[in-house]
Structure 1
Amino acid sequence: MDHHSTPVSTGSSGVDSAALVLRLVLLLATAFLAGTGILRPLVGQLPRKLWFTVGALGLVSAVLAGVSAATVDVNLVALIIHIVLALAVPVLLRWPSLGRWAALALVVLVVLETSIDGSGIDFAIDTVYVAAAALWFGITLLSAWVPVEQWRSTPLRVGPLSVTLGGLLTLAGVVQLAVSGVGFDRRLYESLFGIAVLVVVLLPAAVSVLSLVLLSRNASLRAYRYGVAGVAVGFVAWSALAAVPQPPPLPVPGVPLLADSTVGGASVPVLVSPQRPGRNLVHFPASSGSDLSAEVEDGTVSPAVARAGAEGSWAEVDLPPGRSTLVVHKGDATTTVDVDAGTDPGPAIADADAPECAEAALGGLVAQKRDVLTSCPSDALSSEDSGSLVKLVEFLTTRKPSAITLVEDRSPRGVQAAKLVRDTAARHGLPVRSDAAADTALVVVSGWADGYLAMSRAAESQRLKPTHQFGLYVAPWLLNGPIVNTVASAAMPLRFDPREQLALSYAVTVGSSFGGESPSLGGFESWLGPQWPEVNGEVQLYAAAQVNAMPMYPTEPHAPGMQAARDYAGQWIPDGTVVPISGVLR
């Protein structure tokens, strides 16, 4: 069985080991070379063996830089500069001042190559760590061949400098730990990134203590020889931080979990909701393919299947209280995802409404929000949707159908919406019925599952005989591809234009974050958060149709007969379009 640990649980997947080792050896050799060049003016005549050592370091650095270009994408200009400087430093040792400048330029290159983030505090601590390590390496190498007593007279006290360098390395490591986002939790020892951060802090700290002890015994120069291994390992760990993926935040009980897993070499996004003890849904996007299933480790395997009105596939798992491991299967391959359901019970979520609730939570997750799931869109009818439904019914009264065919469900939102439709229709003398007829208008205010069933039945009825000739209308929350794409065209009252910038941005964000998933109204609201009321304007009727002859954007014209692409990013309805079909409903 092919078993892969997901980056979500280990934080170490995806690192090309060979390329990483090559890069680390390259940077370490370059740091030794640069440190020696910087300190060269402090030493007079160099022994032949030291010349050969520095020359070998320059050659190794240049060769490995060239080899690395064949394994990873590199900037050609930076590569050429690196090779030239690596070969120039040994040559320029004859001219100490020129060699120092070349070595300083080489240090800058190493800083750029080890940098995790090229700006702000990250760049500053990269500079401190690399420069301090390079100086340590330089003093170690030079003092190994030329006793410090024979160095040129200088205000620089090489012995006590070991304490300063060790302290700077430790301080930079502590700051890196603080800004890494790992925190003081199990990711420090369970992920490769966390272990590397610990190494860059603990080894320099140990070297600093050693330097203090030896300084008190008037043997501080020994600290360089004794501590060079610790500094070198710390430098290697520091250099690896830029290549090792950072572990994601730990799962929080009650916060739906969004994970990027790898199963059998394929990327499989995973959404677990609500991440509470008991029944949970595990959702996979349609792009992840079929033959997916999930289980709690050593539990019952639950196949991922389609759910009415929802995209992708869904598996049901029972999470135990506390931390556990979710196992995802794709064929014979598996991967694991860490989950933490906590001990508190989750919200009561009806089975039919669970996918919509999970999709609403997804909107917050892709916005980097980690809110505990306490309610679902189906728990209550919002004031915005209430007003939209009133406007819809008032619009229908002007069209004068014989009646409204109303489809509802038993959710709190569905009950409230159905009562609102009936009361509004009654005020205008428009009958409301539950059965279909030729001259009625269909209005669906149920959840996703019943909405999908109602629209499927309407499509079949219209295929067989004239039915709902005054149109098919759905509540705003039913703007979802699997529902509206069951018919040729469906209308809904909306307070925002799905073609405008914010709506398109959310559609692109959720699609890129979760395997091409289409947006939902609940997810859009969660994504916007406090900004949601600002998006809600006047009510207009929009039509969702499986055609693409309409402009992609409100102000973008098309030539007569020209169709827009069917697969552009930001679509709210797959292979379809959503356009206004009325002015503002007054």
Structure 2
Amino acid sequence: MREDRARRFVPRLLLPVLVSPVLLLALAGPAWAQTGWGAGGGSRDAVDTLLPWPLLAVLGVVALVSSALVAGTAALGFLAPPSRSSMLLVQSAAAVAVVALVIRCVGGGISAFAALPQAAGAAVIAVLFARGARSASAVGGVLLTAALAYDATIGHTDWHVGLAAVHMVAAVTWLGAAVLVATPACGARFTVVRRVTLVFAVSAVMAVSAAALEAVAKGMRFDAVTATSLTGLLVLIQALGMLVAVSTGLCRPGAVGGRVVAYSAGLVFTAGSVLMLVTPPPAPAEPGRPLLRTVALADQDAPVVVVPQRPGRNLVHVGMAGALVGGVRAEERPGAPGGWAVVDLPAGTDVLTVEAGGEQVSLRLDLGPDPAPPALVAGLTGPDGPECLSAVVGRLLRGAADLPAACPADALSEADAATLRATVRFLGDRDVPALYLVTDGSRRSAAAAAVVREAAAGNGLPVANRLDRADAALVVAGWEVGGRKLTDEALSLSSVARTYTAPWLATNAVLGRQTGAVTTLDFDPLDVSAQRYLADLRAAGLTPLASPAGFRAWTAPGDAGPAVAGPRIFASVQISMMPTGAGEMDNRTTDPWLPGGSLTPVTPPLPR
């Protein structure tokens, strides 16, 4: 009769191990869209696996929980003689672990080098434990616990390595203690509880403390973002399950209490295992500093930039057009990539929602107490806002903590003025009949037009009021007007002498559309410094925002970059180029300034 009860009890103990991963992952369907496929398990877009990622996730959690159950129970077997229930439980868990590891290995979710030793170890430990070899099985349990702790540290750095290892060891130990409390031999329940109480309580405290420190390190806070995320749900399950298991195991270790401890412990460890696979909620923002984040929306990773992240009007860039940002639709803008929205953020706002494709992500904000400089806000919310945002991103990637006082379109820099004079001189030397100017209402455009007219007069080059086919066109407008004009076939194809642009228009959204226009730059996009800027943008997922304004803001003050003999005219070509001295970049192909193409010099350095 007792043996029959034990055999019926074991499947009940294994039920949380087998069912919980499926339920947690199924219920978390909407949350996966917010968090992405996490740090421990791969990617939704993985193409080198035979099985779908949800099944691999379930198998991984089942294998981890089953192995931990075997390791923890065997490692603490010296505290109490194994009961028939505990032996059957360890044997069943080992069988489940072996099957899950083998299927996961065959399906491509884990290498044979990692799966087979763990499967073999679980099987050997189960045999030793069932035969009453308590010392040998305890050693095996300790070794398997160490292996699981090592696996838990993968992907961590610095002090997080030790914290992850302590968390796993404490959790495995607590799970083993819970099994001993739940499955003692008949008549020995109070004796076992008395022996295991200290281990049960200390391991629970260590596991909870390590989990709390890991959660804080990952950016979790007691706020709405965490509470509505999959991570917050799993942490709540862990906390409640741990409380129920510990209080029941220590206060009421009866037959019913044993089942409660077993179910709670299995659910707690399963929730913790799933938590390892989940990307945590977005980290807290730095107070009053522009926000850069990447979120998973509509089956793609989309960058989100909030500038200046201060009380009042803010410009938000999303890597996809049409998304809703704080209820405002991020629209496409001429000459700028992605979607753009001007959002009013009252003081004290701590969450910004981004919605696309029926999915919603919440981003943490910390606006700080001080408003942004008025000139900066006016520039960000005006027609030249995208260029201003790209310049702020450049400063942010450089590590600058302060905000600029104004936007690039507020004034014409000396470098750009010199480049425009060189362009006009080049056109005058080619005997171009006349020059047609394209301007807008910005102060920089007005100053640039004045410089061009002065240089044209000095070089005997008339400035025409209307475009003639034989004339050259020079665009000194901003991204919005310049991008709209350059995509107008009438302008790009009507000039025999070609269309030239101001340096600040050397962006993919303006020049990367085969407009036929060329630009004059006083730096080479293939140089090492420009490539480092592009690498920083790529790491942030913001390569489309590459711009001369961003590059100059990224360059530290006083760093003039490589010396140049003079500005050169660059044309957009649809090929990738290798830089001169590629060895300085570890022999890697350069990042293109224009994705899918390259800016290539077509003239020698022009006289200054």
Check whether TM > 0.5.
yes
Residues 568, 605 of structure 2: 8 Å contact kept: no
2:134 matches 1:99: no
Label 1:515 to 1:88 Cα distance change in 2 as closer, same or farther (>3 A). Answer: same
TM-score by length of 1: 0.74
**Mapping 1:314-325, distance limit 5 Å:** 314=339, 319=344, 321=346, 322=349
- Report the alpha carbon displacement of residue 26 of structure 1 after superposing the two structures with TM: 2.7
Question: 2-side partners of 1:142 and 1:295: how far apart?
Answer: 52
Question: 2-side partners of 1:119 and 1:326: how far apart?
Answer: 31
- Report the alpha carbon displacement of residue 319 of structure 1 after superposing the two structures with TM: 4.7
Query: Could you tell me which residue of structure 2 aligns to residue 533 of structure 1?
Result: 559
Give secondary structure in 2 for the equivalent of 1:242: helix
Query: Could you tell me which residue of structure 2 aligns to residue 60 of structure 1?
Result: 96
- Report the alpha carbon displacement of residue 107 of structure 1 after superposing the two structures with TM: 1.2
2:479 matches 1:448: yes
Label 1:77 to 1:370 Cα distance change in 2 as closer, same or farther (>3 A). Answer: farther
Question: 1-side partners of 2:281 and 2:550: how far apart?
Answer: 25
Root mean square deviation of aligned Cα: 4.7
Structure 1 residue corresponding to 2:165, chosen from 114, 123, 127: 127
Question: 2-side partners of 1:454 and 1:515: how far apart?
Answer: 25
Question: 2-side partners of 1:541 and 1:267: how far apart?
Answer: 37
Question: 1-side partners of 2:77 and 2:495: how far apart?
Answer: 93
- Report the alpha carbon displacement of residue 478 of structure 1 after superposing the two structures with TM: 0.9
Identity %: 24
Deviation by residue 1:338-384 (Cα, 9 ceiling, x = unmatched): 46697968711364313323444555677898976864321233344
Query: Could you tell me which residue of structure 1 aligns to residue 504 of structure 2?
Result: 477
Question: 1-side partners of 2:213 and 2:354: how far apart?
Answer: 36
- Report the alpha carbon displacement of residue 303 of structure 1 after superposing the two structures with TM: 8.3
- Report the alpha carbon displacement of residue 80 of structure 1 after superposing the two structures with TM: 0.8
Residues 380, 412 of structure 1: 8 Å contact kept: yes
- Report the alpha carbon displacement of residue 391 of structure 1 after superposing the two structures with TM: 4.9
2:386 matches 1:348: no
Question: 1-side partners of 2:399 and 2:115: how far apart?
Answer: 36
Give secondary structure in 1 for the equivalent of 2:604: strand
Query: Could you tell me which residue of structure 2 aligns to residue 433 of structure 1?
Result: 463
Structure 2 residue corresponding to 1:262, chosen from 297, 312, 323: 297
Label 1:417 to 1:341 Cα distance change in 2 as closer, same or farther (>3 A). Answer: farther
The amino acid across from 1:479 in the alignment is A
- Report the alpha carbon displacement of residue 193 of structure 1 after superposing the two structures with TM: 1.4
Question: 1-side partners of 2:213 and 2:226: how far apart?
Answer: 15
Question: 1-side partners of 2:262 and 2:415: how far apart?
Answer: 66
2:604 matches 1:582: yes
Residues 255, 274 of structure 1: 8 Å contact kept: yes
Structure 2 residue corresponding to 1:493, chosen from 498, 513, 521: 521
Residues 439, 475 of structure 2: 8 Å contact kept: yes
- Report the alpha carbon displacement of residue 29 of structure 1 after superposing the two structures with TM: 2.1
**Mapping 1:140-539, distance limit 5 Å:** 140-142=178-180, 144-146=183-185, 147=188, 158-197=196-235, 231-249=265-283, 255=290, 258-263=293-298, 265=299, 292=322, 294=324, 297=327, 304-305=331-332, 307-312=333-338, 314=339, 319=344, 321=346, 322=349, 328=355, 333-338=357-362, 347-349=377-379, 351-361=382-392, 363=394, 375-392=406-423, 405-423=436-454, 428=458, 430=460, 433-435=463-465, 436=467, 442-452=473-483, 455=486, 460=490, 463=493, 466=496, 469=497, 472-484=499-511, 485=513, 487-495=515-523, 497-507=524-534, 510=537, 514=541, 517=544, 519-526=546-553, 528=554, 530=556, 533-535=559-561, 537-538=563-564
Deviation by residue 1:50-98 (Cα, 9 ceiling, x = unmatched): 4333222211221222233356611211111111111110222344443
Question: 2-side partners of 1:56 and 1:191: how far apart?
Answer: 34
2:64 matches 1:31: no
Question: 1-side partners of 2:430 and 2:126: how far apart?
Answer: 88
Question: 2-side partners of 1:50 and 1:538: how far apart?
Answer: 76
Residues 174, 199 of structure 2: 8 Å contact kept: no
Residues 508, 569 of structure 1: 8 Å contact kept: no
Question: 1-side partners of 2:172 and 2:76: how far apart?
Answer: 10
Label 1:498 to 1:188 Cα distance change in 2 as closer, same or farther (>3 A). Answer: same
The amino acid across from 1:77 in the alignment is F
Structure 2 residue corresponding to 1:74, chosen from 105, 110, 117: 110
- Report the alpha carbon displacement of residue 38 of structure 1 after superposing the two structures with TM: 1.7
Label 1:517 to 1:275 Cα distance change in 2 as closer, same or farther (>3 A). Answer: same
Structure 1 residue corresponding to 2:121, chosen from 81, 85, 90: 85
Give secondary structure in 2 for the equivalent of 1:582: coil
Structure 2 residue corresponding to 1:136, chosen from 149, 170, 174: 174
Label 1:254 to 1:367 Cα distance change in 2 as closer, same or farther (>3 A). Answer: closer
Residues 304, 316 of structure 2: 8 Å contact kept: yes
Deviation by residue 1:477-532 (Cα, 9 ceiling, x = unmatched): 1102343355435131223x212344345446646755873622233345x36379
Deviation by residue 1:15-34 (Cα, 9 ceiling, x = unmatched): 86554444333322221211
Question: 2-side partners of 1:465 and 1:519: how far apart?
Answer: 28
The amino acid across from 1:75 in the alignment is S
Residues 132, 168 of structure 1: 8 Å contact kept: yes
Question: 2-side partners of 1:9 and 1:511: how far apart?
Answer: 22
Label 1:158 to 1:324 Cα distance change in 2 as closer, same or farther (>3 A). Answer: closer
- Report the alpha carbon displacement of residue 417 of structure 1 after superposing the two structures with TM: 2.9
- Report the alpha carbon displacement of residue 328 of structure 1 after superposing the two structures with TM: 4.6
Residues 270, 284 of structure 1: 8 Å contact kept: yes
Q: Which runs of 5+ in 1 are unaligned?
A: 558-567
- Report the alpha carbon displacement of residue 582 of structure 1 after superposing the two structures with TM: 1.7
Question: 2-side partners of 1:116 and 1:364: how far apart?
Answer: 33
Label 1:39 to 1:167 Cα distance change in 2 as closer, same or farther (>3 A). Answer: same
The amino acid across from 1:336 in the alignment is Q
Label 1:108 to 1:303 Cα distance change in 2 as closer, same or farther (>3 A). Answer: closer
Query: Could you tell me which residue of structure 1 aligns to residue 18 of structure 2?
Result: none
Label 1:202 to 1:540 Cα distance change in 2 as closer, same or farther (>3 A). Answer: farther
Number of aligned residue pairs: give it: 542
Deviation by residue 1:431-471 (Cα, 9 ceiling, x = unmatched): 562435688654432212332355467x74685564xx4x6
Give secondary structure in 1 for the equivalent of 2:221: coil
Question: 1-side partners of 2:74 and 2:515: how far apart?
Answer: 74
Question: 2-side partners of 1:122 and 1:283: how far apart?
Answer: 33
Give secondary structure in 1 for the equivalent of 2:336: coil
Question: 2-side partners of 1:150 and 1:132: how far apart?
Answer: 23
Quick check: 400-409 or 57-66, which moved more?
Answer: 400-409
Query: Could you tell me which residue of structure 2 aligns to residue 570 of structure 1?
Result: 591
The amino acid across from 1:237 in the alignment is A
Q: Which runs of 5+ in 2 are unaligned?
A: 1-28, 45-52, 584-588
The amino acid across from 1:533 in the alignment is D
Label 1:160 to 1:488 Cα distance change in 2 as closer, same or farther (>3 A). Answer: closer
Deviation by residue 1:120-176 (Cα, 9 ceiling, x = unmatched): 33332222222223333334434633548989xxxx964433343233223212321
Label 1:194 to 1:534 Cα distance change in 2 as closer, same or farther (>3 A). Answer: farther
Question: 1-side partners of 2:559 and 2:239: how far apart?
Answer: 47
The amino acid across from 2:604 in the alignment is S
